[in-house]
Structure 1
Amino acid sequence: MLEPLVRAALLEDLGRAGDITTDAIVAPYHYARTVLAARQCGIIAGLDLAKLAFRLISPDVEISVERPDGSSVVEGEVIASVVGPARAILTAERSALNFLCHLSGIATATASIVAAVREYPAKIVCTRKTTPGLRTVEKYAVRAGGGSNHRFGLDDAILIKDNHIAIAGGIRAAIKRARNSAGHLVKIEVEVDTLTQLEEALTLAPDAVLLDNMSVDELRQAVSMVAGRAITEASGRITASTAPAIAAGIDLISIGWLTHSAPVLDIGLDYRAA
């Protein structure tokens, strides 16, 4: 699953004529010793994609990993050494860093939320709000940061949302239709915005309830109403500063911005003279 992503990124960058800057300046026989180094503190994710970027340009590039995915790094720390034909290293540099910085940013953001709720059993999960084509690796980065994954797509669980409810004519109708259609291994979750909706949903025993954009007080009441009869999931613009107040009694905290808006982790490729 990774190689097509990396090949597409390289093709996008190389275009029709390849790296005309490097080819003009760097001799084909020149070998270089470089390192991938952290320029700020964070959590690493995406090294497999970075390694593929270099190796697809030239199998002669050797990568030695010092800090594998899931590792915490500090500013200036070497993540991996990259040694080989200088042309290949420079040509693959940006594609490798794009993956590594983006996914490490997701892992770092996830780790910050996980740390904020470490005193509670609540799990931090991502959503389907992902970059088109990159869902698998972005969800992997969430796990590298200590989080967990929500459903990967529309085909692995039923999540009844507001528009489903509106079109079906109500929560009860939507849940009944879902249950009549779902196989015995398929979980059913329903999104609710109010405690009244939650009360109605619970009469049909869904497997999970998504408590969307509720206040802390409403969430506490919701947890009391559910009383362990379903998995409880809180969502809605949750950050590291707001997560602890939400986490008490909640099973899952889902956060869309982890995959669609997490800032990159600044990582650079630095040349080291032989």
Structure 2
Amino acid sequence: MADKFEEFFQAESRMFLLALIRIALAEDGPDMTSQALFTDDDTAQAQIVAKQSTIVAGLPLIPLILEFGGEAQCRHMLNVDDGERVSEGTMVAALEGPAAYLLKVERVIMNFLCRLSGIAELTSRYVQQLQGTQTKLLDTRKTTPGLRYPEKYAVLVGGGLNHRKNLVEMLMLKDNHIDRAGGIAQAVNRLTAEYSPCPPIEVECRTIDEVKEAISCPVQRIMLDNMPPDTIKQALSMIPDTMESEVSGNISLDNIGSVAKLGPDFISVGKLTHSAPASDFSMQFVTTGA
């Protein structure tokens, strides 16, 4: 999973990640409490322990956070890989270094680890409901501002797929675009005329009539938005194998399995990133001294 982290966070995504770490550390300012109570010679050892069963995501961030402050004396050991399920009481990482610095970065490390592990854990639960079907789980752009790349990485760790990281990877025609252009065909024609080569196009369809119009256009994917099951089934029967299908809207752990049995290629779920509860970890300082 370390390879997946390095593969995901390259170029622009790595730039965003490092900027995010910089902001997270800067938000706290100097740790005046620790600076007053510990000397530069005081060292500490700490363990990060899971307080619940959970998928782990975000451990490769720890060395980046430790190094970002220029603290070369810190050492770390990651005991598990991102993507592993751990039980309550598992020590997932151990840290050692100047006490004041470890105390300063403690909350930043824990915020990332708890948030990303929570997303991975919820994603894994949705993925489990898709077992026995060909449907794949997608996230959305309903992410925490500034945290999109780490949150989408956590979805991958949990077994899901990324829909699109930005507005460039795939062009999505929503109701406002379609209404502005005067119809789906007109909107698709505008896009293909404007961009060469044109990125993949996805059309959000609200009705069967819109599905009929969309399948006559050179688009890669059709999204069935907030349709009842019977309408989804009818729409899927119309979409040719040369086009991808996606279902979105009002998807929950209770109904995703039944929707998947209708046969869409993808189901997208905003809850993965906008409503995932944080997983519970604690950082326990086991020794402190000069």
The alignment partner of 1:183 has SS state of coil
Match of 1:125 in 2: 138
Q: Is 1:31 the equivalent of 2:43?
A: yes
User: 1:185 Cα shift?
Assistant: 5.6
2:254 paired residue number: 241
Report % sequence identity. Answer: 40
Contact (CA 8 Å) 1:205, 1:230: kept in 2 or not?
A: no
Output the amino acid matched with 2:256.
A
| Structure 1 contact 66–80 (Cα < 8 Å) conserved | yes
- 1:35–1:269 contact (8 Å) kept in structure 2: yes
2:176 to 159, 163, 166: 163
* 1:176 match: 189
CA deviations on 1:56-88 (whole Å, 9 max, x unpaired) are 332211110011211111111111111111111
Which one-letter code corresponds to 2:274 in the other structure? H
Q: Is the 8 A contact 2:192 2:198 kept in 1?
A: no
1:10 counterpart = 2:22: no
Match of 1:152 in 2: 165
Contact 2:140 2:270 in 1 (8 A): yes
Letter in 1 for 2:20: L
Matched, 1:188 2:188: no
Amino acid at match of 1:110: T
Among 224, 229, 243, the residue aligned to 1:211: 224
Structure 1 unmatched runs, 5+: none
- CA distance, structure 2, for counterparts of residue 220 and residue 121 of structure 1: 15
Q: What are the Cα deviations for residues 216-245 of structure 1, in whole angstroms up to 9, with x where unaligned?
A: 222111111114231000111312221101
Q: Does 1:136 align with 2:159?
A: no
Q: Please give the alpha-carbon distance, in whole angstroms, between the structure 2 residues aligned to 1:33 and 1:127.
A: 39
Give the superposition deviation at 1:117.
0.6
The answer to whether the Cα contact below 8 Å between 2:45 and 2:286 also exists between their aligned partners in 1 is yes
- Contact 2:45–2:97 under 8 Å retained in 1: yes
What amino acid is aligned across from residue 11 of structure 1 in structure 2?
A
The amino acid across from 2:163 in the alignment is H
Q: Which residue of 1 aligns with 2:112?
A: 99
Q: Identify unmatched segments of 5+ residues in structure 2.
A: 1-13
Instruction: Compute the displacement of 1:27 (Å).
Output: 3.1
1:40 is matched with 52
Residue matched to 2:274 = 260
Structure 2: which amino acid aligns with 1:262? A
SS at 1:198 equivalent: helix
Q: How far apart, CA to CA, are the structure 2 residues paired with 1:42 and 1:216?
A: 32
Deviates more, 1:165-174 or 1:89-98: 165-174
- TM-score, normalization by structure 1: 0.94
1:229 is the counterpart of 2:242: yes
Question: Tell me, what secondary structure is at the counterpart of 2:73?
Answer: coil
Deviation at 1:137, TM superposition (A): 1.3
Q: Secondary structure at the match of 1:5?
A: helix
**3-state SS of 1:139 partner:** helix
Once residues 263 and 42 of structure 1 are traced to their aligned partners in structure 2, the CA distance between those partners, rounded to angstroms, is 11
Give distance in 2, aligned partners of 1:35 and 1:51. Answer: 14
* TM-score (norm. length: structure 2): 0.89
Q: Are the equivalent residues in 2 in contact too, given 1:102–1:265 (CA < 8 A)?
A: yes
Letter of the structure 2 residue corresponding to residue 40 of structure 1: Q
3-state SS of the aligned residue for 1:148? coil
What are the equivalent positions in structure 2 for 1:43-122 lying under 5 Å apart?
43-57=55-69, 58-122=71-135
Contact 1:46–1:99 (CA<8 Å) still a contact in 2? yes
Aligned to 1:50, the other structure's residue is in SS state helix
- CA 93–231 in structure 1, closer or farther in 2 if over 3 Å, else same: same
Q: Distance in 2 between matches of 1:213 and 1:50?
A: 40
Do the aligned residues in 2 keep the contact of 1:121 with 1:251 (CA within 8 Å)? yes
Partners in 1 of 2:39 and 2:91 — Cα distance?
A: 27
- C-alpha deviations, 1:230-268, integer Å up to 9, x for none? 100011131222110111211111111212221111111
Give the 3 Å change call, closer, same or farther, for CA 56–206 of structure 1 in structure 2: closer
